[in-house]
Each structure stands twice: as C-alpha cells, then as structure tokens.
C-alpha cells in the first residue's frame, strides 16, 4: 500500500516534528495542563500552527480581566479557541500579571484605568467584540464607585464605538440597576424595570454606579453621532454571583460568604437572593455575544434563588466538621424599617425585605444554566476558598 503525502505537508514535516518534540518534552518536565499545551503548540516558533490556528480566531476584549467574573469569561473564551485581550488597572504588579498569564494562557494584557482616558483606544484596536465587565465593586477599598463606573463606561464606549473592527458590545450590569428603590407593593421584576435613584436606593453608591453606567451605555449606543455604525449592545444583569474563584485574590462575592462562614455577619435581613454560579454567568456572557437575537436587550442572569440566611445554614450543615458552623439570625423587617432612617444601605434594600421578590426574565430561551443548586454553589464557593487558603481548615 502506498500512502500519498502532499508536497506541502512534506515540506512542513521537519518543523512540525521539532514542534511536537519541543512541546511534548516541555509538557513532561513541567507537568502542564492540556490548555497550556495547546497554547504552546499554537504559539510555537518552530512551526506554523500559530499562523494556521490562531489567525482566524476572533479577538475579544475583556475589561477587568483580573476580576472574579471576567477571569472566567476570559478562560472560557480561550478554551473555545478565541483570542483574548484583557485590561487591568496597571501592569505595575508583575507577579499579578504573571499569575494572570498562567491562568489565562495566551491572554494579551493591557493597562487601562476606568478613571482615566488613556489606554482604551489601544485596548479595543483590532478586536471583534468587547465584554465590558470592569466596575468598582461594593468593597471598602473602592470609593466613588459611581464616578469610576461612569467614566470607565464612557471612555471604553467612546473608543469601541469608533473602532472599525468592533462588531458587538456586551456590558455586565447588575440586578442593582433593575430591582431597587421601588415601592414595597412592587414584588415582581423583569428587564423592563429600572432601579429608582430618587430615594434611598440612590444613596447607595453601588446601586447608583450600576444604574447610571448602564443608562449611559444605552444612551451612547443609541446616539447615531457617537455610534454611526449602529454597533449593537447587549446587557447582562446578574443577581448575586457565587461559585469558585479562578483568580487567587479575594473578591467581593466570596468575601461575603467568608464573612458569613467566620461568623462576622451574625444577622442578615429577610431577603431572597437570586444567585448565579460564576461559571454559568461567564458562559452566558459568551452565549449572548454570539446570539444576535440578544442585541438591544437586557438579560437577568440567575440560575437559582435562596434566602440570605440559607447561606449560613448550608455552611453549618456541610462544614461544621471543618470548624465552620455559623448561625446567622434573621433581623425582623420591622426593625430594619426603623433603622433605614439612619442607614442608606438598609434604606436601599428595604423595599425588598420580608416579602416575595420575584425576578422573571423576558428572554428565558437565551441561556440554559448548568449550576442551579443553591446549596451546591455555596459548597463550591467554600471549597474554592479552602483551595486558595482564604479559609483555614480548622480541624
């Protein structure tokens, strides 16, 4: 039997052989993952795989790629063969940048701060689509969240809407831009609703930041002078995001669960939370980017629901043997009704406390959630914190 080998293939055979030897050798000595191996093959200087495989893959920008959600979006894009550029506040912390490159093999890191105009035009240059995820979170280290969220959205969108290659923008907003500041009589929310900033909810800097940044994005995209090509926008409005962290630095969501586990939050309001696993939320962003039917729409992102107190109960039920058995009492809603006079935090939440608080998406067919078990999502969050040594095993 004769095997016919094309001349083109024969001419490449030496370089492909060297590529395989080099990369398999590296893999054996460094114990690397399949992702990293594939990335090394694609970028190998000994053969043309890089040219063949990577040239045609779409390039996406993910802002705030060091974040809890954005790092998962970037990871899933890379796993699906896309190219990813990610923004970070600064490249000054070399160890952090190296860790990100290890977690996200092939990512192109660029610096752009939400509070400064520099870097955004370069960040969007040549990209096919933009995931705008970065936003100052509800953590004590962030102040003037509204300022950062709004200027960042303006700088990014000005650059993206002027960039000839950008085909679509997906913005990460929040339920915080939908479901707060309404009269208590309103107990059912869809993507048609907007958080009312006139009263107590408007005094909460995080609610304000998400609402105003999302409104600005819709205004800019709808303005034909700023968006002459009519680049489409889709928005995702997640509930509380939980689940494992890819990045080894603590972020808002897992900090909250950690504080509950450690008993630092001894009492919680009587409130239903709408929860999405971070892996599902990331996958939903990618699904929405790919689906033109989502253009011009907002999308709730939540796979399950549970009372805040249930988080502590799950931890106590499943992690008592490891030294974590918190008891979170439920604060009577009437008491919070009195306290809201003194606290804008409580005032912003009050309309949703102690009563049903239903979310219903207008677009149920857009994404099928893989992680819908509330208890399991909290359990996975705890395991992730043990794995990153944010929580010590106490037994």
Ligand X SMILES: NC(=O)c1ccc[n+]([C@@H]2O[C@H](COP(=O)([O-])OP(=O)(O)OC[C@H]3O[C@@H](n4cnc5c(N)ncnc54)[C@H](OP(=O)(O)O)[C@@H]3O)[C@@H](O)[C@H]2O)c1
| Residues binding ligand X (CB under 6 A) | 64, 66-70, 89, 113-115, 133-137, 148, 172, 174, 210, 238, 240-241, 251-253
In the complex with ligand X, the residue whose CB is nearer, 114 or 309, is 114
Question: What ranges make up the beta strands (E) of the chain?
Answer: 59-62, 83-88, 108-111, 129-132, 168-172, 188-189, 233-238, 240-242, 267-269, 272-277, 298-301, 304-307, 329-331, 358-359
Q: Which residues pair with 170 in a beta bridge?
A: 131, 234
Radius of gyration of the chain (CA): 23
In the complex with ligand X, the residue whose CB is nearer, 114 or 127, is 114
In the complex with ligand X, the residue whose CB is nearer, 83 or 251, is 251
Cα–Cα dist 63/66, whole Å: 9
Closest residue by beta carbon to ligand X: 67
136 and 209 Cβ atoms separated by less than 8 Å: yes
Considering the complex, what minimum distance in angstroms separates the CB of residue 17 from ligand X? 41
Considering the complex, what minimum distance in angstroms separates the CB of residue 302 from ligand X? 10
Cα–Cα dist 340/200, whole Å: 9
In the complex with ligand X, the residue whose CB is nearer, 66 or 204, is 66
Q: Is 167 helix (H, G, I), strand (E, B) or coil?
A: coil
In the complex with ligand X, the residue whose CB is nearer, 189 or 240, is 240
Cα–Cα dist 131/260, whole Å: 31
In the complex with ligand X, the residue whose CB is nearer, 115 or 307, is 115
Considering the complex, what minimum distance in angstroms separates the CB of residue 177 from ligand X? 9
Q: Containing H/E element for 345?
A: helix 344-349
Considering the complex, what minimum distance in angstroms separates the CB of residue 379 from ligand X? 17
Other C-beta atoms within 10 Å of 162: how many? 15
Considering the complex, what minimum distance in angstroms separates the CB of residue 323 from ligand X? 26
Considering the complex, what minimum distance in angstroms separates the CB of residue 49 from ligand X? 31
């Amino acid at each position: 039997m004769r095997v016919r080998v094309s001349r083109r293939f024969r001419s490449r055979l030496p370089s492909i052989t060297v590529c395989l030897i080099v990369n398999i050798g590296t893999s054996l000595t460094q114990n690397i993952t399949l992702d990293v191996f594939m990335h090394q093959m694609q970028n190998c200087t000994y053969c043309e795989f890089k040219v063949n495989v990577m040239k045609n893959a779409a390039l996406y920008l993910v802002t705030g790629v060091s974040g809890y959600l954005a790092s998962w979006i970037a990871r899933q894009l890379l796993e699906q063969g896309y190219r990813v550029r990610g923004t970070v506040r600064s490249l000054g912390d070399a160890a952090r940048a190296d860790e990100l490159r290890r977690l996200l093999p092939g990512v192109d890191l660029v610096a752009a701060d939400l509070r400064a105009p520099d870097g955004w035009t370069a960040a969007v240059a040549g990209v096919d689509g933009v995931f705008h995820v970065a936003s100052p979170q509800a953590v004590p280290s962030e102040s003037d969240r509204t300022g950062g969220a709004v200027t960042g959205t303006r700088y990014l969108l000005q650059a993206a809407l002027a960039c000839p290659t950008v085909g679509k923008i997906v913005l990460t907003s929040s339920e915080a831009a939908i479901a707060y500041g309404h009269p208590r009589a309103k107990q059912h929310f869809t993507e048609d609703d907007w958080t009312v900033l006139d009263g107590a909810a408007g005094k909460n800097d995080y609610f304000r930041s998400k609402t105003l940044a999302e409104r600005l994005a819709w205004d800019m995209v709808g303005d034909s002078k700023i968006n002459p090509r009519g680049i489409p926008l889709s928005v995702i409005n997640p509930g509380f995001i939980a689940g494992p962290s890819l990045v080894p630095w603590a972020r808002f969501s897992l900090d909250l669960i950690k504080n509950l586990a450690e008993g630092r939050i001894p009492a919680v309001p009587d409130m239903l939370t709408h929860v999405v696993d971070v892996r599902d939320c990331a996958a939903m962003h990618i699904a929405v980017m790919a689906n033109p039917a989502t253009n011009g729409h907002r999308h709730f992102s939540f796979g399950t629901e549970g009372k805040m107190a249930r988080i502590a109960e799950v931890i106590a039920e499943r992690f008592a043997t490891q030294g974590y058995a918190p008891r979170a009492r439920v604060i009577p809603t009437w008491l919070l009704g009195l306290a809201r006079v003194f606290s804008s935090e409580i005032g912003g939440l009050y309309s949703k406390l102690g009563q049903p608080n239903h979310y219903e998406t207008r677009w149920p067919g857009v994404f099928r959630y893989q992680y819908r078990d509330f208890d399991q999502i909290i359990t996975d969050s705890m395991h992730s914190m043990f794995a990153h040594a944010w929580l010590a095993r106490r037994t």
